[in-house]
Amino acid sequence: MIGIINYGAGNIFSLTAALERVGLTYGMVNREEELDQYDRIIIPGVGHAGAAMQKLQASGLAECIHTIQKPVLGICVGMQLLTDFSEEGNADLLSIIPLKTLHFDQKIKEKVPHMGWNSVSIRNDNPLFSNIEDNAYFYFVHSYFIEYDTAYTAAMCAYGLPFSAAISKDNFYGVQFHPEKSGKAGEQLLLNFSKLS
């Protein structure tokens, strides 16, 4: 069963609806003790990364996330929280994956936010992308991105520059796009996450 970190950063109706569509069960994690009830954890998040980090800290869950040994998936801002730092609010984040979250503005000539369906190039047969074809399209909505990195980028996307569509390190995974809104490919990714060991 999947535990969803419930720290008040945005609406999670779409996420829980997607989990239900693919037949996955879930519950909410409000306190550290509740982490034990689940075999994998999702960190959702929309909106402002700095504000999301403050909410995570206020929830008391920020300190324990790096200790989790089970598969963890951060989605969108939930993924950005795994990095060291975000230019959004110049916020220090969880520092689980040593990357930075940067603003698209000034760096690209394309429109910001990066909004819509973009193709994703999968690296090193990452198991999160099992049964998903290379260059499959996923739905993105974001103004900040995680830099591309040869060690931690699990899937690459290009929008004016190459950035991390997905990252992974040990049991921690993150996706910048919204699998819950990304058609069949997104649903497959959620299923893949449910099978990671």
Give residues in contact with other proteins (CB under 8 A). Answer: 11, 13-14, 17-18, 20-21, 46-48, 110-119, 137, 139, 141, 143, 158-159, 178, 180-184, 186-187
Shortest approach of other proteins to residue 100 CB, angstroms? 21
CA torsion 131-180-177-29 (nearest 10°) is: -110
CB-based burial, 116-132: b 16+ in 10 Å, e otherwise: eebebebbeebebbeeb
Closer CB to other proteins, residue 48 or residue 123?
48
Closer CB to other proteins, residue 13 or residue 90?
13
Shortest approach of other proteins to residue 113 CB, angstroms? 6
Catalytic residue numbers, as ranges: 76, 178, 180
Shortest approach of other proteins to residue 77 CB, angstroms? 10
Shortest approach of other proteins to residue 54 CB, angstroms? 16
Closer CB to other proteins, residue 129 or residue 152?
129
Element (H, E) at 54: helix 49-58
CA angle at 153 for the pair 192 and 105, rounded to the nearest 5°:
115
Element (H, E) at 18: helix 13-21
- Which residues sit opposite 29 in a β-bridge? 5
Closer CB to other proteins, residue 35 or residue 108?
108
